[in-house]
Amino acid sequence: MADWYNPRKASQIAAYFAQREGGKINVLKLVKLIYLADRNFMKAFDSSMINDNLVSMDHGPVNSRTLNFINGLAEDSGWSEFITDRENHFIGLASSEFADSDLDELSRAEIGILEKTWSEFGGMTRWQIRDYTHDHCPEWEDPDGSSNPIPYERVFKALGKSKPSELDERIRTDRWISSVLRD
Q: What is the pLDDT of residues 98-118, one digit of tens each?
A: 888 999 999 999 999 999 999
Q: Given phi > 0 = left and psi -120 to 50 = alpha, else beta, which region is 92?
A: beta
- Percentage of the residues of the chain whose pLDDT score is greater than 70: 97
pLDDT at 182: 66
Global pTM value: 0.94
Question: Per-residue confidence at 76, pLDDT binned at 50, 70, 90?
Answer: low
pLDDT at 3: 74
With CA atoms as reference, report the closest residue to 11 among 122, 86, 87: 86
- In the chain, what are the helix, strand and coil shares in percent, each to the nearest 5? 55, 10, 35
Alpha-carbon span 157 to 117, nearest angstrom:
20
Q: Greater confidence, 158 or 98?
A: 158
Question: Per-residue confidence at 183, pLDDT binned at 50, 70, 90?
Answer: low
In the chain, where the domains are located: 7-182
Alpha-carbon span 131 to 168, nearest angstrom:
26
- Cα 140 to chain centroid distance, Å, stands at 15
Q: Greater confidence, 179 or 49?
A: 49
pLDDT at 80: 87
